[in-house]
Amino acid sequence: LLAKNRQEHHIETKHGPVSVAVYGDHDKHALITYPDVALNHMSCFQGLLFCPEAASLLLHNFCIYHISPPGHELGATPILPNSPVASVDELADQVAEVLDFFGLGSVMCLGVSAGAYILTLFATKYRERVLGLILVSPLCRTPSWTEWFYNKVMSNLLYYYGMCDMVKDCLLQRYFGKRVRGGSAVPESDIMQACRSFLDQRQSMNIWRFIQTINQRHDLTESLKQLQCRTLIFVGENSQFHTEAVHMTAKLDKRYSALVEVQACGSVVTEEQPHAMLIPMEYFLMGYGLFRPSHVSSSPRSPLNPFCISPELLSPESMGVKLKPIKTRANLRV
Protein backbone atom coordinates (compact mmCIF):
# COMPACT_ATOMS: atom_id res chain seq x y z
CA LEU A 1 0.00 0.00 0.00
CA LEU A 2 2.80 2.41 0.90
CA ALA A 3 4.73 1.64 -2.28
CA LYS A 4 1.58 1.99 -4.37
CA ASN A 5 0.86 5.47 -3.01
CA ARG A 6 4.45 6.75 -3.36
CA GLN A 7 5.28 9.59 -5.71
CA GLU A 8 8.91 10.36 -6.50
CA HIS A 9 9.94 13.96 -7.19
CA HIS A 10 13.37 15.15 -8.29
CA ILE A 11 13.67 18.84 -7.50
CA GLU A 12 16.35 21.25 -8.70
CA THR A 13 17.42 23.65 -5.95
CA LYS A 14 20.06 26.36 -5.66
CA HIS A 15 22.30 23.82 -3.94
CA GLY A 16 21.79 20.93 -6.33
CA PRO A 17 19.08 18.34 -7.01
CA VAL A 18 17.18 16.63 -4.22
CA SER A 19 14.90 13.61 -4.28
CA VAL A 20 11.61 13.56 -2.33
CA ALA A 21 9.30 10.55 -1.96
CA VAL A 22 5.75 11.61 -1.11
CA TYR A 23 3.15 9.38 0.57
CA GLY A 24 -0.43 10.32 1.29
CA ASP A 25 -3.01 13.03 0.69
CA HIS A 26 -1.49 16.41 -0.22
CA ASP A 27 -4.37 18.19 1.54
CA LYS A 28 -3.26 16.90 4.96
CA HIS A 29 -0.66 18.40 7.29
CA ALA A 30 2.90 17.89 6.05
CA LEU A 31 5.44 15.67 7.81
CA ILE A 32 9.02 16.10 6.58
CA THR A 33 11.53 13.31 7.24
CA TYR A 34 15.32 13.28 6.89
CA PRO A 35 17.43 10.12 7.47
CA ASP A 36 20.87 9.46 8.92
CA VAL A 37 24.10 9.07 6.95
CA ALA A 38 23.98 6.43 4.15
CA LEU A 39 20.25 5.79 4.70
CA ASN A 40 17.07 6.91 2.97
CA HIS A 41 13.39 6.57 3.83
CA MET A 42 13.30 2.89 2.87
CA SER A 43 16.04 1.98 5.35
CA CYS A 44 15.41 4.59 8.07
CA PHE A 45 11.62 4.98 8.41
CA GLN A 46 10.17 1.80 6.91
CA GLY A 47 10.19 -0.03 10.26
CA LEU A 48 8.14 2.75 11.87
CA LEU A 49 5.66 2.97 9.01
CA PHE A 50 5.27 -0.81 8.84
CA CYS A 51 3.84 -0.74 12.39
CA PRO A 52 0.05 -0.71 11.82
CA GLU A 53 -0.59 1.68 14.72
CA ALA A 54 2.13 4.11 13.59
CA ALA A 55 0.93 3.99 10.00
CA SER A 56 -2.63 4.75 11.10
CA LEU A 57 -1.45 7.61 13.33
CA LEU A 58 0.87 9.24 10.80
CA LEU A 59 -0.90 8.59 7.49
CA HIS A 60 -4.28 9.53 8.98
CA ASN A 61 -2.94 12.96 9.94
CA PHE A 62 -0.11 13.69 7.50
CA CYS A 63 1.10 13.65 3.98
CA ILE A 64 4.69 12.43 4.39
CA TYR A 65 7.53 14.01 2.43
CA HIS A 66 10.69 11.90 2.68
CA ILE A 67 13.71 14.01 1.76
CA SER A 68 16.87 12.09 0.85
CA PRO A 69 20.34 13.56 1.41
CA PRO A 70 22.02 14.30 -1.95
CA GLY A 71 22.62 11.07 -3.83
CA HIS A 72 21.02 8.85 -1.18
CA GLU A 73 17.73 8.13 -2.97
CA LEU A 74 16.86 4.74 -4.46
CA GLY A 75 18.65 4.23 -7.76
CA ALA A 76 20.89 7.27 -7.25
CA THR A 77 23.72 7.86 -9.70
CA PRO A 78 27.14 9.17 -8.61
CA ILE A 79 27.25 12.92 -8.03
CA LEU A 80 29.67 14.56 -10.45
CA PRO A 81 33.15 14.84 -8.84
CA ASN A 82 33.44 18.54 -9.63
CA SER A 83 30.18 19.37 -7.84
CA PRO A 84 30.81 21.25 -4.58
CA VAL A 85 30.12 19.43 -1.31
CA ALA A 86 27.08 21.06 0.31
CA SER A 87 27.36 22.60 3.78
CA VAL A 88 24.86 21.83 6.55
CA ASP A 89 23.37 25.31 6.08
CA GLU A 90 22.89 24.66 2.38
CA LEU A 91 21.10 21.38 3.11
CA ALA A 92 18.83 23.19 5.57
CA ASP A 93 18.10 25.82 2.90
CA GLN A 94 17.39 22.97 0.49
CA VAL A 95 14.63 21.78 2.84
CA ALA A 96 13.06 25.25 2.63
CA GLU A 97 13.15 25.04 -1.18
CA VAL A 98 11.40 21.66 -1.04
CA LEU A 99 8.63 23.24 1.03
CA ASP A 100 8.34 26.06 -1.49
CA PHE A 101 8.17 23.57 -4.38
CA PHE A 102 5.16 21.80 -2.82
CA GLY A 103 3.57 25.03 -1.57
CA LEU A 104 3.86 24.01 2.07
CA GLY A 105 3.65 26.43 4.99
CA SER A 106 4.38 25.11 8.49
CA VAL A 107 5.38 21.46 8.78
CA MET A 108 6.11 18.74 11.33
CA CYS A 109 9.64 17.34 11.14
CA LEU A 110 11.01 13.84 11.88
CA GLY A 111 14.77 13.30 11.63
CA VAL A 112 17.30 10.66 12.68
CA SER A 113 20.85 11.56 13.90
CA ALA A 114 22.47 13.52 11.03
CA GLY A 115 18.99 14.09 9.57
CA ALA A 116 17.79 15.33 12.96
CA TYR A 117 20.65 17.87 12.92
CA ILE A 118 19.66 19.15 9.46
CA LEU A 119 16.01 19.54 10.48
CA THR A 120 16.93 21.22 13.79
CA LEU A 121 19.14 23.65 11.89
CA PHE A 122 16.25 24.22 9.48
CA ALA A 123 13.97 24.94 12.46
CA THR A 124 16.40 27.52 13.86
CA LYS A 125 16.72 29.28 10.49
CA TYR A 126 13.05 29.10 9.47
CA ARG A 127 11.26 29.15 12.81
CA GLU A 128 7.87 30.09 11.42
CA ARG A 129 7.87 27.07 9.11
CA VAL A 130 8.18 24.35 11.78
CA LEU A 131 5.21 23.24 13.88
CA GLY A 132 7.15 20.64 15.84
CA LEU A 133 10.25 18.46 15.90
CA ILE A 134 10.41 14.70 16.48
CA LEU A 135 14.11 13.91 16.74
CA VAL A 136 15.67 10.46 17.03
CA SER A 137 19.18 10.24 18.58
CA PRO A 138 19.88 13.78 17.37
CA LEU A 139 23.20 15.50 16.81
CA CYS A 140 23.49 19.02 18.17
CA ARG A 141 27.09 20.03 18.80
CA THR A 142 30.25 19.81 16.70
CA PRO A 143 31.55 16.21 16.39
CA SER A 144 33.27 14.71 19.41
CA TRP A 145 36.81 13.50 18.82
CA THR A 146 35.53 9.92 18.66
CA GLU A 147 32.85 10.70 16.09
CA TRP A 148 35.24 12.90 14.09
CA PHE A 149 37.81 10.08 14.01
CA TYR A 150 35.25 7.44 12.95
CA ASN A 151 33.94 9.75 10.23
CA LYS A 152 37.49 10.37 8.96
CA VAL A 153 38.20 6.63 8.86
CA MET A 154 34.95 5.97 6.98
CA SER A 155 35.65 8.86 4.59
CA ASN A 156 39.10 7.54 3.71
CA LEU A 157 37.86 3.99 3.25
CA LEU A 158 34.93 5.13 1.10
CA TYR A 159 37.23 7.29 -1.02
CA TYR A 160 39.79 4.55 -1.71
CA TYR A 161 37.88 1.27 -1.34
CA GLY A 162 34.18 2.10 -1.67
CA MET A 163 31.50 0.48 0.51
CA CYS A 164 33.81 -2.18 2.00
CA ASP A 165 33.00 -4.42 4.97
CA MET A 166 34.80 -2.14 7.43
CA VAL A 167 32.68 0.87 6.40
CA LYS A 168 29.53 -1.21 6.74
CA ASP A 169 30.60 -2.38 10.20
CA CYS A 170 31.22 1.24 11.29
CA LEU A 171 27.82 2.33 10.01
CA LEU A 172 25.97 -0.62 11.55
CA GLN A 173 27.64 0.09 14.88
CA ARG A 174 26.43 3.69 14.53
CA TYR A 175 22.86 2.59 13.81
CA PHE A 176 22.09 -0.38 16.04
CA GLY A 177 22.54 -1.76 19.55
CA LYS A 178 24.50 -4.89 20.42
CA ARG A 179 21.53 -7.26 20.57
CA VAL A 180 20.58 -6.46 16.97
CA ARG A 181 24.19 -6.52 15.72
CA GLY A 182 24.79 -9.98 17.20
CA GLY A 183 28.28 -11.35 17.85
CA SER A 184 30.47 -14.41 17.75
CA ALA A 185 27.89 -16.53 19.57
CA VAL A 186 24.75 -14.75 18.30
CA PRO A 187 23.89 -14.55 14.59
CA GLU A 188 23.10 -11.23 12.97
CA SER A 189 19.43 -10.26 13.06
CA ASP A 190 17.30 -9.94 9.94
CA ILE A 191 17.38 -6.17 10.26
CA MET A 192 21.19 -6.21 10.18
CA GLN A 193 21.32 -8.44 7.13
CA ALA A 194 18.78 -6.26 5.33
CA CYS A 195 20.76 -3.12 6.17
CA ARG A 196 24.02 -4.68 4.93
CA SER A 197 22.33 -5.52 1.66
CA PHE A 198 20.96 -2.00 1.42
CA LEU A 199 24.39 -0.43 2.03
CA ASP A 200 25.83 -2.52 -0.80
CA GLN A 201 23.53 -0.62 -3.16
CA ARG A 202 24.69 2.85 -2.07
CA GLN A 203 26.94 5.10 -4.17
CA SER A 204 30.04 5.28 -1.98
CA MET A 205 31.17 8.75 -3.07
CA ASN A 206 27.71 10.18 -2.40
CA ILE A 207 27.94 8.81 1.14
CA TRP A 208 31.46 10.26 1.40
CA ARG A 209 30.03 13.70 0.57
CA PHE A 210 27.37 13.61 3.29
CA ILE A 211 29.91 12.44 5.86
CA GLN A 212 32.15 15.38 4.86
CA THR A 213 29.20 17.72 5.32
CA ILE A 214 28.11 16.42 8.71
CA ASN A 215 31.71 16.22 9.99
CA GLN A 216 32.01 19.98 9.44
CA ARG A 217 28.78 20.92 11.22
CA HIS A 218 28.64 23.76 13.73
CA ASP A 219 27.27 23.87 17.28
CA LEU A 220 23.52 24.57 17.52
CA THR A 221 23.40 24.91 21.31
CA GLU A 222 22.85 28.68 21.41
CA SER A 223 20.35 28.55 18.54
CA LEU A 224 18.18 26.05 20.42
CA LYS A 225 17.00 28.86 22.68
CA GLN A 226 15.38 30.49 19.65
CA LEU A 227 13.24 27.49 18.78
CA GLN A 228 9.54 28.25 18.94
CA CYS A 229 8.20 24.74 18.43
CA ARG A 230 7.55 21.74 20.64
CA THR A 231 10.18 19.02 20.53
CA LEU A 232 10.01 15.30 21.27
CA ILE A 233 13.39 13.54 21.45
CA PHE A 234 13.96 9.78 21.36
CA VAL A 235 17.35 8.22 22.04
CA GLY A 236 18.48 4.64 22.31
CA GLU A 237 20.08 3.70 25.59
CA ASN A 238 23.10 2.34 23.68
CA SER A 239 23.22 5.09 21.05
CA GLN A 240 26.60 6.67 20.29
CA PHE A 241 24.75 9.98 20.48
CA HIS A 242 23.10 9.49 23.87
CA THR A 243 25.03 12.36 25.49
CA GLU A 244 24.11 14.60 22.54
CA ALA A 245 20.41 13.95 23.08
CA VAL A 246 20.67 14.60 26.83
CA HIS A 247 22.63 17.82 26.19
CA MET A 248 20.07 18.99 23.65
CA THR A 249 17.15 18.27 25.96
CA ALA A 250 18.83 20.24 28.78
CA LYS A 251 19.16 23.30 26.53
CA LEU A 252 15.56 23.28 25.29
CA ASP A 253 12.66 24.92 27.10
CA LYS A 254 11.41 22.19 29.44
CA ARG A 255 7.81 23.33 29.01
CA TYR A 256 7.88 22.41 25.33
CA SER A 257 10.26 19.45 25.13
CA ALA A 258 10.61 15.87 26.33
CA LEU A 259 13.19 13.12 26.20
CA VAL A 260 12.28 9.44 25.83
CA GLU A 261 15.09 6.95 26.37
CA VAL A 262 14.53 3.57 24.72
CA GLN A 263 16.25 0.75 26.56
CA ALA A 264 18.38 -1.90 24.84
CA CYS A 265 18.41 0.12 21.63
CA GLY A 266 20.92 1.89 19.39
CA SER A 267 20.50 5.14 17.46
CA VAL A 268 17.99 4.28 14.72
CA VAL A 269 15.00 3.67 17.00
CA THR A 270 12.68 3.98 13.97
CA GLU A 271 14.01 0.64 12.71
CA GLU A 272 15.25 -1.16 15.82
CA GLN A 273 12.36 -0.54 18.23
CA PRO A 274 9.69 1.50 16.42
CA HIS A 275 6.91 0.35 18.78
CA ALA A 276 8.64 2.23 21.62
CA MET A 277 7.87 5.48 19.78
CA LEU A 278 4.13 5.02 19.43
CA ILE A 279 2.74 6.11 22.81
CA PRO A 280 4.93 9.26 23.17
CA MET A 281 4.23 10.26 19.55
CA GLU A 282 0.52 9.79 19.94
CA TYR A 283 0.37 12.00 23.02
CA PHE A 284 2.78 14.53 21.53
CA LEU A 285 0.53 14.89 18.48
CA MET A 286 -2.56 15.21 20.68
CA GLY A 287 -1.14 18.60 21.65
CA TYR A 288 -1.80 19.62 18.04
CA GLY A 289 -5.28 18.14 17.96
CA LEU A 290 -4.11 15.16 15.92
CA PHE A 291 -5.40 11.67 16.77
CA ARG A 292 -5.46 8.13 15.48
CA PRO A 293 -8.63 7.20 13.55
CA SER A 294 -11.20 5.87 15.99
CA HIS A 295 -11.96 2.75 13.94
CA VAL A 296 -8.47 1.34 14.64
CA SER A 297 -8.89 -0.90 17.68
CA SER A 298 -6.26 -1.44 20.34
CA SER A 299 -5.54 -5.10 20.95
CA PRO A 300 -4.49 -6.12 24.48
CA ARG A 301 -0.87 -6.31 23.26
CA SER A 302 -0.96 -3.05 21.33
CA PRO A 303 1.59 -0.43 22.45
CA LEU A 304 -1.18 2.15 22.09
CA ASN A 305 -3.55 0.42 24.47
CA PRO A 306 -4.54 3.14 26.99
CA PHE A 307 -3.97 0.76 29.91
CA CYS A 308 -0.25 0.64 28.97
CA ILE A 309 0.20 4.40 29.16
CA SER A 310 2.58 5.72 31.78
CA PRO A 311 0.78 8.03 34.27
CA GLU A 312 3.42 10.71 33.67
CA LEU A 313 1.99 11.23 30.17
CA LEU A 314 -1.51 12.07 31.30
CA SER A 315 -1.06 15.42 33.05
CA PRO A 316 -2.29 18.25 30.79
CA GLU A 317 0.20 21.08 30.23
CA SER A 318 1.26 23.45 27.46
CA MET A 319 1.98 20.57 25.07
CA GLY A 320 -1.52 19.22 25.55
CA VAL A 321 0.09 16.52 27.68
CA LYS A 322 3.07 16.38 29.96
CA LEU A 323 5.96 14.29 28.68
CA LYS A 324 8.57 13.70 31.34
CA PRO A 325 11.88 11.98 30.64
CA ILE A 326 10.81 8.36 30.76
CA LYS A 327 12.31 5.03 29.82
CA THR A 328 10.51 2.53 27.64
CA ARG A 329 11.21 -1.10 27.03
CA ALA A 330 9.85 -2.85 23.98
CA ASN A 331 9.73 -6.62 23.74
CA LEU A 332 12.66 -7.81 21.66
CA ARG A 333 12.18 -10.76 19.36
CA VAL A 334 15.09 -13.13 19.52
Residues 39-86 pLDDT 10s: 999 999 999 999 999 999 999 999 999 999 999 999 999 999 999 999
In a domain, 78, yes or no: yes
Q: What is the pLDDT of residue 148?
A: 96
Q: What is the pLDDT of residue 294?
A: 67
In a domain, 310, yes or no: no
Q: What is the pLDDT of residue 188?
A: 78
Q: What is the pLDDT of residue 293?
A: 77
pTM above 0.85, yes or no: yes
Q: What is the pLDDT of residues 203-220, one digit of tens each?
A: 999 999 999 999 999 999
In a domain, 186, yes or no: no
Q: What is the pLDDT of residue 182?
A: 75
**Secondary structure, 3-state, the chain:** CCCCCEEEEEEEECCEEEEEEEECCCCCEEEEEECCCCCCHHHHCHHHHCCHHHHHHHHHHEEEEEECCCCCCCCCCCCCCCCCCCCHHHHHHHHHHHHHHHCCCCEEEEEECHHHHHHHHHHHHCHHHEEEEEEECCCCCCCCHHHHHHHHHHHHHHHHHCCCHHHHHHHHHHHCCHHHHCCCCCCCCHHHHHHHHHHHCCCHHHHHHHHHHHHCCCCCCHHHHHCCCEEEEEEECCCCCHHHHHHHHHHCCHHHEEEEEECCCCCCHHHHCHHHHHHHHHHHHHCCCCCCCCCCCCCCCCCCCHHHCCHHHHCCCCCCCCCCCEEECCCCCC
In a domain, 237, yes or no: yes
In a domain, 306, yes or no: no
Domain with 73 in it: what CATH number? 3.40.50.1820
Q: What is the pLDDT of residue 181?
A: 85
In a domain, 172, yes or no: no
In a domain, 136, yes or no: yes
Q: What is the pLDDT of residue 190?
A: 87
Structural domain total, the chain: 1
Residue numbers of the domain that contains 249? 6-141+219-287
Which residues of the chain carry a pLDDT beneath 70? 1-5, 184, 294-334
In a domain, 248, yes or no: yes
